A and B are shown apart, each in its own frame.
Chain A
Amino acid sequence: MRSLSRMLIVALALALLGPVLFIGQAPAADDVKIALVAPLSGRWARQGQLKKMGADMAIEEINSQGGIKALGGAKIVLREADAGDSVEKAVSAAQRVLTREKISAGIGSWLSSFTLGVTEVAERLQVPWLSLSYADSITERGFKYTFQTSPVSSLQAEQALDLVTDLAKKNNRPIKKAAIVGDNTAASMFFYKPLREKLLAAKGIELVVDDVWTPPLADATAIVQKLRSTQPDIVFYGATNFPDSIQVLQKVKEFNVKSPIQGVGAWLVTPEYVKTVGKDVLDNIQTVVAAHPMKGQEELVKKFKQRTGEPFMTQDPLCTYAHVWLIKEAIEQAKSADPKAIRDALAKIDISSGPAVSAFYPARVKFDERGRRIGATPLIVQWQDGEPYTVVPTAVATRPVAWHK
């Protein structure tokens, strides 16, 4: 028993010392602290890791270029909190990080379901919050402190559908039958909803498969079997959880399903897809995203790849990079690190150049009264030869779009 208590003491000591060992230098008093609440553990940890890469890159740039000029060169310091794998954990992480010390602004939390919870905390504590999440409801609650830079899901659904019907027509394969396959996380659900309720019917498209699951998916056989027997002309695909998505794609290959896949979200264009299922399975799969490197951003992408060793840059680091820069711009305009002043500056901001708008299409940041970026338009990204390229809109495309043969 005594040895057990000795072990417990050692464990406790390690637990207490741990944070001290892993946190770098303590910030000076006048540093500006911004919070990143993102999943750093659990099934969406990879996305949190990617977001952090983007934030780190922006902060390093800002600080090395002399920090925030309006505050006498104050440096930006990142405070990250782990949103984990449930809304409850995300909310308590936000609560913790925002109450422990003075935070000027926050970013997060990737999954719309998390963002919905986290922004409630930010609203209550009056900290301005930037999010790349898609769900419409994020900016439908009359919140004053939430700013959504991405086009909302329903808009993405509309534009994705327009685009694929157009492409299909041009290739003499009009879309008559569609399938919806994916999980029931918030952004995906908001994407399916308008398709089911009006968009598909308006175009005379029949919905032949509508299978939505709660992650994790045990097995994809039943779903893909339905795809095989109904042969839809397009599959709207929302499997945000990586193992689920891999199981579906493996089955698609096994059952030789040829239906084009139109994803919703940047989770479908991460490097690990190539390693796990191979580029032949991915070829021509496309997805609608809020951001992806566009024509003219080669330098930024090169720098990111060198820093991180990632084979390409995607929405999550790109948006978070821009969010940090956007907060910096707001602080410059507010001339204050006070959260309320930053919120007011964000509400008024109207910029169309510089790194703060680098992630967005069109390249302008101005928010409407709900906190939505005015004019936000999604991009279509397509896998070609094992790498995802922006293919639509053509003005910023890095490759022309290819349609399934």
Chain B
Amino acid sequence: MVFAELVQYVVTGLLVGGVYALMSIGLGLIFGVMRVVNFAQGDFMMLGMYLTFFYAVAASIDPLAGALLTLPPFFVLGWIVHRLLLARVTGGDPGRQHDAQLILTLGLSLVITNATTMILTPTPRGIRTSYATQAFALGPVLLNQARSYAFVMALVLAGLVYLFLTRTDLGRALRAAADDPEAASYQAIDVRTMHGLAFGIGIALVAAAGGLLATYYPIEPNVAGNFIVLMFVAVVLGGLGSIPGAFVGGLIIGLVQSLTLLVLPFQLQNTGVFVAFLLVLYLRPQGLFGRRARTV
């Protein structure tokens, strides 16, 4: 194994992982704040891809900019979905509400996928960008331009979310609502609003990740299926509810997927991911960045 080739595998893995990471932090945020497992997360990503495609076709907006422009409408969409649907099954007795949440998000996922198939047809679409088929050359190592841009933007967006959560009052209120909803409400924090905010941000982030993905990946109604399992693995790997954890989890998945190919045939690419996942769960059940569950 030549050293440059090894570097290429690592770099490729990290670039792939960057977008996984952005996809996963939205899911991680929603779980962390609301304790909701959102099965429809991948479908909102798919809708984000379509909106980016629409921007590109209707207004000739470059998908990298289009990805950012998905943030506001999807934040609003997330907020509305929370208000109309999720708010009815969150809060209250968590044990009792859990089934309803699972069924609701799973149902939402089915409705979104099939409605999109009906309305937009299953014909795959793609945004043709020059940078999807060009690479930056660092000596013998090639960095695909689309994936590099997507990686950098994912990093910036994740950084902004982190700053928002740790440096602003609203972010702190959000975390307070996540840590202890009851105590937060004593501090005049409207937990329901915080949940809406978290869901809106979570959806907006995954839509933007979809937009970045659309710079090099074809768009079809069922595209979520190719990514949703990896998102969940990333979130659990990083520690349920931890934002940095979800980000690192996404990166690790990309890296493991790529490095697995050094030792295993292609058909077993995702086996590497799940072996790593099981190892982490075995050695550190709370995930890499997770906290142990509180005991009373």
Contact = CB atoms under 8 A, between A and B. Distances in A.
Interface of A: 3-4, 7, 11, 40-43, 45-46, 48-49, 85, 184, 211-214, 216-219, 221-223, 225, 242-243, 246-247, 250-251, 253-255, 272, 275-278, 281
Interface in B110-130: 113-114, 117, 121-126, 128
| Leading 3 A-B pairs by shortest Cβ distance | A276-B126, A45-B122, A213-B266
B216 interface: yes
Contacts of A184: 267
Contacts of B126: 246, 272, 275-277
A272 B124 contact: yes
A275 B56 CA distance: 13
Contacts of A217: 266, 269
Given A276-B125, A278-B128, 15 more contacts: A41-B122, A42-B225, A43-B222, A46-B124, A49-B122, A85-B222, A212-B267, A219-B16, A219-B257, A221-B144, A222-B9, A222-B266, A250-B133, A254-B134, A276-B218
B55 interface: no
Contacts of B9: 222
A213 B12 contact: no
B258 interface: yes
A223 B269 CA distance: 12
Contact of B266 (A45, A223, A225): A223
Contacts of A278: 128
A222 B12 contact: yes
Given A213-B269, A221-B8, A41 B218 contact: no
B160 to A, nearest CB: 26
Contacts of B5: 225
Nearest to B92: A1
B221 A221 contact: no
Residue among B8, B133, B134, B223 with the highest chain A CB neighbour number at 10 A: B133
Interface of B is mostly: helix
A250 B216 contact: yes
Given A218-B257, A278-B128, A45 B267 contact: no
Given A41-B122, A250-B216, A225 B128 contact: no
A185 to B, nearest CB: 12
A257 to B, nearest CB: 11
Given A41-B113, A221-B144, A222-B258, A214 B267 contact: yes
Contacts of A281: 133
Contacts, number: 120
Nearest to A43: B222
B226 interface: yes
5 contacts: A40-B122, A46-B122, A213-B266, A254-B133, A255-B135
A243 B226 contact: yes
B89 A4 contact: yes
Contacts of B220: 43, 45-46, 242-243
Given A4-B89, A276-B124, A254 B135 contact: yes
A47 to B, nearest CB: 9
A46 B220 CA distance: 9
A216 B226 contact: yes
A184 B269 CA distance: 13
A8 to B, nearest CB: 9
B142 A43 contact: no
B156 interface: no
A42 B114 CA distance: 9
